[in-house]
Amino acid sequence: MYGETSGMLRGALGELLRQHRIQQRIGGAGIHTVPVTTTVGERKEIGQQIARYRHGVLVWCHQAMRAANPRIGLEGSTGRTRGPAEELRYRLERTLRDSDVDLPTLDELVTPQRFDLVESWREAARACALGEHDFANGVGYGRLSEAQCLTVIKDAADVVRGLVSLDRRYANVPGWQPFPEPGRLGRAAATCATWAGYGEPDYTVDRRGWRPVPTLIDGPGLPGITGVLQAQHNLLLYLGHFPTAQNLRLVLDSQRNISREAARRLAPIDPVLAERWQQRGETYGRLVREARDLGGVFGTGGAAAGQGAVAATRMAELDDAGLSETQQIRRLQRMSAGIDERVCNLVEYGAAQRLYFHRVNLPRLDLDAGELVHTSQRKFVPIISAVQSELLAIVRSDLRPTPIQRKPPKGAARSRLNFEAALHHRPPPRGASPDVPSI
Amino acid sequence: MLLAHAVILGQARSYVAALADAALTTDASIEYDRVLLQIDFIHGDQIPGISPVPVTDRDVLFDAAESAIEDLAGHGIDSLTVELVLDMLWAARDLDAP
């Protein structure tokens, strides 16, 4: 997720921004009581290593700016025609173009480093390598709201400010390659951060981005409510494939039974919640009735129907105290809401693409079938035709769950405040103890 | 599927669906729906649609449904399968008892 990777990056860079006297931290001279442990050549190599890590961070910033503000063709523009975000992106492109540093290799990203300072750089570069996946998986222009775009831009601009600040601090490292135009890059980043920080930030963007693909929970059936959750989880995954009409009917039937059993067990514990499950069961009951004449052989769905039946059976075998854990009930609710949404999408898709039909009997014989014995003529009509049942209406009005208002993760604001504090961090005066206020 | 089989199957489906709609308890309605699903599962997707039935009395509906399901045995459906469906029908009937 974007929140995890950008949080890792801010954490590592915040650590670096609080560290001064860089030469001593990579084994150089500075304190007479601490021996020198590295040669100039070794420190030069360390500097080159840090430059590669820094290049990875810079590439991430450029990708973030492109994802949140994808204006193309900045080459013909001038400083007067570029806005704050375009200016920062332009400066980042110039810096990357003029830099002859390579990206860190995979070995360099995964091998722990000897010095804590280099290790923090490695963590920052690793977070950026992981964060690249987020921009293709939900953190991109068109998928984000305006406030979320501005939050991403502000994050990237703050990281660039930190990099420019560190660039000045590392100038004494042997063989250090400073940014080509640090002043312009720093000004562009500061302006962009101020501009993007005007409005109210939307930290729900932290919940977007790449996630590991959910997998089936195989193995023997788990006991109690966990077994129901296992089967419901597997059902949700199997519903990713389009089911035939018959299998869809079996899934609807299983969800009706699960809802009724849940309502029955929850009634003495939480009547309000039980009422909600009861309503879900009735909605599925109406869907089962309306789907009696649903036809359609396209698709699969046998596995989904099987998991639905397993879930219904396990729910029926639960004892009365089986639904007493609040957390498990919430999980069941969340999973069932996911199934509801998937069923809604499947029915709507099947109706729109004419994969599901209504079976209608006609009061005459089929004379064109080419058979010796004529059967009664049947006709399959699309769900969206004049003889449509209430199926689509129920799906749209009753079954589809209300969209969840996502809340930002707990540490989102704190992570950014800490990084902001690190950006404005100043070293304590010489001789002052950090634990005792100086007079 | 021949005409006679289609007619019997259509009757079985229609009467079981009518029983599900006329059931006194939700549990019985669910069980009748399961019987309908089982009949459809046996025949695949080649099944006639449900037609309105002329009676509303549950006893008459049950007798007609039972008779139609029994007759399926004469149209290529093996007897054990038919017996299992009939058993499901009777189980639903037990739940529907006033």
Other Cβ atoms within 10 Å of A432 Cβ, number: 12
pLDDT at A247: 93
Number of domains in chain B: 1
Query: Which residue among A245, A361, A374 sits closest to B3, beta carbon to beta carbon?
Result: A374
Burial classification of residue A124, based on how many CB atoms lie within 10 Å of its CB (0-12 exposed, 13-18 middle, 19 or more buried): buried
Higher-pLDDT residue of B61 and A437 is B61
Residue B67: pLDDT over 90: yes
ipTM of the complex: 0.88
Confidence of residue A22 (pLDDT cuts 50, 70, 90): confident
Residue B56 or A77, more confident: B56
Residues 366-405 of A with CB under 8 A from B: 373-376, 378
Give yes or no for residue A404 having a pLDDT over 80.
no
pLDDT of residue A161: 93
pLDDT band at A379 (very low <50, low <70, confident <90, very high): low
Share of chain A above pLDDT 90, in %: 41
Alpha-helical segments (H) within A99-223? 106-110, 116-131, 146-169, 182-196
For the cut 90, the answer to whether the pLDDT of residue B89 exceeds it is yes
Count chain A–chain B contacts defined by CB atoms under 8 A: 59
Strand order in the sheet with A294-295: A294-295, A357-365, A376-382
Q: What is the pTM of this model?
A: 0.74
Whether the pLDDT of residue A74 is over 70: the answer is no
Q: How many Å apart are CA B51 and CA A354, to the nearest integer?
A: 23
- Interchain proximity B50–A292, CB inside 8 Å: yes
A234 touches chain B (CB under 8 A): no
Averaged pLDDT of chain A: 86
Q: What is the b/e burial string over B41-52, where b = at least 16 CB atoms within 10 angstroms of the residue's CB? A: ebbeeebbbbbe
Q: Residue A311: is its pLDDT beyond 90? A: yes
Q: Which residues contact A308 (CB under 8 A, 6 or more apart)?
A: A231, A235, A250, A251, A253, A254, A255
User: What is the residue range of B60's domain?
Assistant: 3-46+53-95
3-state DSSP call for residue A359? strand
- Distance between CA atoms of B70 and A33, rounded to whole angstroms? 100
Two tokens at A152? Answer: 């991403």
Q: How confident is the model at residue A374 (pLDDT cuts 50, 70, 90)?
A: low
Residues A147-185: tens digit of each pLDDT: 889 999 999 999 999 999 999 888 888 888 888 888 999
**pLDDT digit string, tens, across residues A289-308:** 988 888 888 888 889 999 99
pLDDT at A44 over 80: yes
Contact across the interface for A376 and B40, Cβ inside 8 Å: no
Question: What are the CB-based long-range contacts (under 8 Å, 24+) for A348-352?
Answer: A348/A392, A348/A395, A348/A396, A349/A242, A350/A242, A350/A245, A350/A248, A350/A296, A350/A383, A351/A382, A351/A383, A351/A384, A351/A391, A351/A392, A352/A384
What pLDDT, on the 0 to 100 scale, is given for residue A384?
60
pLDDT above 70: residue A380: no
Residue type, A369: A
Location of structure tokens 């980042």: A92
Minimum distance, in Å, between the CA of residue A6 and any CA atom of chain B:
51
pLDDT at residue A435 tops 60: no
pLDDT of residue A385: 57
**Average pLDDT of the segment spanning B11-31:** 92
Residues of B in contact with A247 (CB under 8 A): none
- pLDDT of amino acid B5: 85
Q: Please report which confidence band the pLDDT of residue A410 belongs to, taking 50, 70 and 90 as the band edges.
A: confident
> CB B26 to CB A373 under 8 A?
no
- Separation in Å, CA A89 to CA A95, A241, A369: 10, 41, 68
- Using CA atoms, how far residue A406 sits from A67, A135, A141, A197, in Å, is 21, 19, 19, 21
- Contact between B37 and A249 under an 8 Å Cβ cutoff? The reply is yes
Q: Do B3 and A285 touch (CB under 8 A)?
A: no
Mean pLDDT of A309-333: 89
pLDDT tens for residues B76-87? 888 999 999 999
Which residue of B lies nearest to A380 if distances are taken between CA atoms?
B49
pLDDT tens-digit series, residues A53-63: 999 999 999 99
- Span A356-375, mean pLDDT? 66
Q: Is residue B36 a contact partner of residue B44, using CB atoms and an 8 Å limit?
A: no
Q: Chain A: give the shortest CA distance to residue B80, in Å.
A: 22
Q: What local confidence, expressed as pLDDT, does residue A378 receive?
A: 63
pLDDT at A219: 84
Asked if B95 is an interface residue toward chain A (Cβ–Cβ < 8 A), one would say no
- Which tens digits make up the pLDDT trace of A76-123? 667 666 788 888 999 999 999 988 888 999 999 999 988 889 999 999
* A361:B51 CB<8 A: yes
Nearest CA in chain B to A284: B30
> In this complex, do B45 and A297 lie within 8 Å of one another by their Cβ atoms?
yes
| Residue A375: closest CA among A384, A386, A364, A383 | A364
Q: Are A253 and B34 in contact (CB < 8 Å)?
A: yes
For chain A, what are the domain ranges?
2-202+409-423, 224-356+388-399
User: d(Cα A247, Cα A367) in Å, to the nearest integer?
Assistant: 31
